[in-house]
Amino acid sequence: MSVEINSLLHAGYSHPLFREWQATRSITKSALMYPIFITDEDDAKAEIPSMPNQFQWGVNRLEEFLGPLVERGLRSVILFGVITDFSKKDSRGSLADSNECPVVRAVKEIRRLFPDLVVACDVCLCEYTSHGHCGILYDDGTVNNAKSVERIAEVSGNYALAGAHIISPSDCMDGRIKAIKSKFMELDLSHRVAVISYSAKFASGFFGPFRDAAGSAPSFGDRKCYQLPMNARGLARRAILRDLREGADGIMVKPGTPYLDVLAEAARLAEDYPIATYQVSGEFATIHAAANAGVFGLKQHVMETMHGFMRAGASLVLTYFTPELLEWLDN
Ligand SMILES: NCc1[nH]cc(CCC(=O)O)c1CC(=O)O
Ligand SMILES: [Zn+2]
Ligand SMILES: [Zn+2]
């Protein structure tokens, strides 16, 4: 018996061009944001053992590093600081926004070198605190939310003054979006600095390689009392709605692939906002390891994850595969 006319799907994707038309959202170069590590050793290009092809870059090497990528169509980066001299870290992360901070110096340098490149700053204290936690702590080791938020807003203001276009707080404290927006009002920056909030950030095992790269692992305990429990779709929804109410300009879900349901939920809850997702260090390292073990081809697999993000509703993807994607998108 022949197939019913209403059952015919194949013709609609029988040509490569027809297949491209099936995408509700295409992957474009504008949708990529490249996370980069800026070290306090100005002339360094230091390997990160757990992250193939990723390096900690000194401020003096940024032209050589980013020039070819900008040439290829890189539109945005997000900066993380690396402090190799642990003796400079203290309980309130004083270094985070001092003029010595590699991120503060890199923002200025990147804005000068590449005026068209959008610069986002991750804001968190864990790269700069002696205890490695993302906020300021009480003596008993629990988080002092009020003090933390005040400090996060202060650091955000200083990154914005240094020239950041986007502030992305990843500390997960309660009420930080409102505090950051208020700080921008006070500094008369609210018209030109956007806040993309790490709203649904889960306490994830996939951050391991990043903590090596940034030297930001907590010296005791874990982040389970501020990052979201991995089973918590409801808390993720509440955090997203909360950040929207507090004035976020965009929402992020992190990690990426294990939380595609949350990403799709974010796209529904915040349908009028840009939605970002972060394909984090552990996802990156896992994909490399599997590709090296012959499980799959790297390009095929990375593209599949990217299409997953786009399908789920992402407008923006933070990924360490950005350099490869810029090349692949040319072919
Ligand atoms: N708060 C710091 C921060 N900002 C981004 C990441 C993870 C990024 C990645 O794994 O690529 C982390 C790690 C953490 O929260 O422990
Ligand atoms: Zn942190
Ligand atoms: Zn962070």
Q: Which of 148, 198, 207 to mutate to test the pocket of ligand 1 (most atoms within 8 A of CB)?
A: 207
Any catalytic annotation for residue 201? yes
Contact 286, 305 (CB under 8 A): no
Pick the atom of ligand 1 nearest to 218's CA.
16
8 has pLDDT over 80: yes
For 85-124, how does the pLDDT look when each residue is reduced to its tens digit (9 = 90+)? 999 999 999 999 999 999 999 999 999 999 999 999 999 9
Any catalytic annotation for residue 45? no
Q: Which amino acid is at 209?
A: P
The DSSP result for 41-94, as a single string, is: STT-EEE-TTSTT-EEEEGGGHHHHHHHHHHHT--EEEEEEE-S-GGG-BTT-G
Which residues fall in the annotated binding site for 5-aminolevulinate?
A: 211, 223, 281, 320
24 has pLDDT over 90: no
Residue ranges per domain, the chain?
24-328
Grouping H, G, I as helix, E, B as strand and the rest as coil, residue 122 is strand
What does the pLDDT average to over 256-267?
98
pTM of the entire structure? 0.96
Residue 80 Cα to ligand 1 middle (Å): 9
2 has pLDDT over 90: no
Does 3.20.20.70 match the CATH number of domain 24-328?
Answer: yes
Q: Confirm or reject: Cβ of 198 under 6 Å from ligand 1.
A: no
- pLDDT at residue 227, as a whole number: 95
Q: Confirm or reject: Cβ of 41 under 6 Å from ligand 1.
A: no
Lowest-pLDDT choice from 43-47, 212-216, 234-238, 274-278 = 212-216
Lowest-pLDDT choice from 109-113, 218-222, 242-246, 314-318 = 218-222
Residue 84 Cα to ligand 2 middle (Å): 16
- pLDDT at residue 20, as a whole number: 87
For 65-83, how does the pLDDT look when each residue is reduced to its tens digit (9 = 90+)? 999 999 999 999 999 999 9
Report d(CA 47, CA 230) in Å as an integer.
31
153 has pLDDT over 70: yes
196 has pLDDT over 90: yes
Residue 210 Cα to ligand 1 middle (Å): 6
Pick the atom of ligand 1 nearest to 216's CA.
16
- pLDDT at residue 1, as a whole number: 67
